[in-house]
Chain A
């Protein structure tokens, strides 16, 4: 498949679906509070671009801050687990439990702890909780992924624990850490959205909050515009992370 077809095929499908949607809305004369036509959504998007952009920034910044917080905890924890099997044994069951518990289930609790005045604490905390596991498990797997014969070579030359960590384990972990970051970025947006929806009204101002608010008020065109903005945000974030990963890996292995 050539590059042109790779772009044209999905674009054509999208266009066909949009045209079908538009025609169906007009033909069936569906009320706007049930399903707005794409043209109406486009108008809403243009009219509320400023506020949508602001809301997107709120969601994005809490997701990114959460990513940073999760990395600050997951990194040192993975390092100590890689060095000590006892610490790994102690941490692993808790990390897995945290991973398999649905974030929706703990959201109300965290939202009530954060209180009505600071819903952004809850969004950041919940996004950090879901971003933690891929970061931790990627780093830990990576730190333990070095070629056993290379490890033997380090034994042979009497490497210190520090030399082994910085010259062998940390560089060997790079591809695994990048993979973990890619997964965590996607999850952190999901975590932030879930938290905003749990917070419902209040002073949260993110995209998911916009979706809840406009749905309650039957301003469906704006709901769809916010959904569209959220999808664009997630796709853009994924694309940036993915190309960063490709670029770093290309440098890492030299081609």
Chain B
């Protein structure tokens, strides 16, 4: 995988004063966000504050009611990891990872080779022929992450990727995702309910408030990826968690 350099402008994707309404009911905005190459941005906020909507706008899967969405990644250069692994139950792990490559028109042979390499990078050597029903929740999520990274995306979007996993598995997976991410550093935006996860994985944590969704606070963190071993006990980490939690609490109280 080669590090992608932004050819067209400083941002990979941006939202400018976007507003999204479903049947006239406002769910998001006005909302603005720039994703620069190499950045890791976390979106936290109460349920139903439009986080997933913002993610789908950035992915180009949805159009805003008002405002401008700018995206520079071409076809196949955006990857999304959903809350559930979202694997095709009839296909093997290898075929699931090869799917985006095949859809992009890569021949079966090279696609399979790349998929095998992507599975190896997430630690799933030997599980290539297994089907999703034969994988544990953590393993299935790894296949999903391998599928997202197989195409060497310039924009990586993750919607609560570890929400369904136990604490130990999600910490291990977060470390693995971050070390894989540092290899090429695509612009990364992820949604999480865990403030600690946000502070651990992001250099920019954005707190959203509801009704309709907008930014209520932002917290910048030192880059330093991958995080050093005892980062979770450092004052920087603790202060950031405290600060973001407070902002989140305020946002949720204003919702209640």
Chain B residue contacts of A157, Cβ below 8 A: 75-76, 99-100, 103-104, 151
Q: How far is the CB of B84 from chain A (nearest CB, A)?
A: 7
Leading 5 A-B pairs by shortest Cβ distance:
A254-B131, A157-B103, A149-B86, A158-B75, A171-B90
Inter-chain contact B86/A147, CB cutoff 8 Å: yes
Inter-chain contact B84/A255, CB cutoff 8 Å: no
Chain B residue contacts of A150, Cβ below 8 A: 86, 88
Chain B residue contacts of A252, Cβ below 8 A: 89-90
Q: Is A103 an interface residue (CB 8 A)?
A: no
Q: How far is the CB of B190 from chain A (nearest CB, A)?
A: 16
Q: Is A152 an interface residue (CB 8 A)?
A: yes
The CA of A149 and the CA of B161, in the complex, are separated in Å by: 13
Chain A residue contacts of B103, Cβ below 8 A: 154, 157-159, 163, 167
The 8 A CB mask of A172-204 against B (1 = contact, 0 = none) is 101000000000000000000000000000000
Inter-chain contact A152/B61, CB cutoff 8 Å: yes
Q: Is B169 an interface residue (CB 8 A)?
A: no
The 8 A CB mask of B61-105 against A (1 = contact, 0 = none) is 100000000000001101110101010111110000001101110
Per DSSP, chain A at the interface is helix
The 8 A CB mask of B88-131 against A (1 = contact, 0 = none) is 11111000000110111000000000000000000000000011
The CA of A152 and the CA of B88, in the complex, are separated in Å by: 13
Q: Is B59 an interface residue (CB 8 A)?
A: yes
Chain A residue contacts of B133, Cβ below 8 A: 253-255
Chain A residue, CB-CB nearest to B100? A157
Q: Is B134 an interface residue (CB 8 A)?
A: yes
Q: Is A44 an interface residue (CB 8 A)?
A: no
Q: How far is the CB of A132 from chain B (nearest CB, A)?
A: 26
Q: List 11 A-B contacts (CB under 8 A).
A: A149-B86, A152-B61, A153-B80, A156-B61, A156-B79, A157-B103, A157-B104, A158-B104, A253-B89, A253-B90, A254-B92
Inter-chain contact B130/A254, CB cutoff 8 Å: yes
Q: How far is the CB of A171 from chain B (nearest CB, A)?
A: 5
Chain A residue, CB-CB nearest to B59? A156
Q: A168 and B80 in contact (CB under 8 A), knowing A153-B100, A156-B59, A253-B131? A: no
The CA of A153 and the CA of B151, in the complex, are separated in Å by: 13
Chain B residue, CB-CB nearest to A158? B75
Q: How far is the CB of A165 from chain B (nearest CB, A)?
A: 13
Q: How far is the CB of A136 from chain B (nearest CB, A)?
A: 22
Inter-chain contact B82/A149, CB cutoff 8 Å: yes
Q: Is A155 an interface residue (CB 8 A)?
A: yes
Q: How far is the CB of B191 from chain A (nearest CB, A)?
A: 14
Chain B residue contacts of A153, Cβ below 8 A: 80, 86, 99-100
Beyond the given A167-B99, A174-B90, please list 15 additional residue pairs across the A-B interface where CB-CB is below 8 A: A149-B84, A152-B56, A152-B61, A156-B59, A156-B100, A158-B75, A159-B103, A167-B102, A252-B89, A253-B89, A253-B90, A253-B131, A253-B132, A254-B131, A255-B133
Q: List CB contacts (< 8 Å) of A222-254 with chain B.
A: 252-254
Inter-chain contact A158/B76, CB cutoff 8 Å: yes
Chain A residue contacts of B130, Cβ below 8 A: 254
Chain B residue, CB-CB nearest to A159? B103
The CA of A168 and the CA of B102, in the complex, are separated in Å by: 13
Q: How far is the CB of A85 from chain B (nearest CB, A)?
A: 19
The CA of A155 and the CA of B151, in the complex, are separated in Å by: 15
The CA of A167 and the CA of B86, in the complex, are separated in Å by: 14
Q: How far is the CB of B240 from chain A (nearest CB, A)?
A: 31
Chain A residue contacts of B76, Cβ below 8 A: 157-158
The CA of A163 and the CA of B131, in the complex, are separated in Å by: 21
Chain A residue contacts of B60, Cβ below 8 A: 156
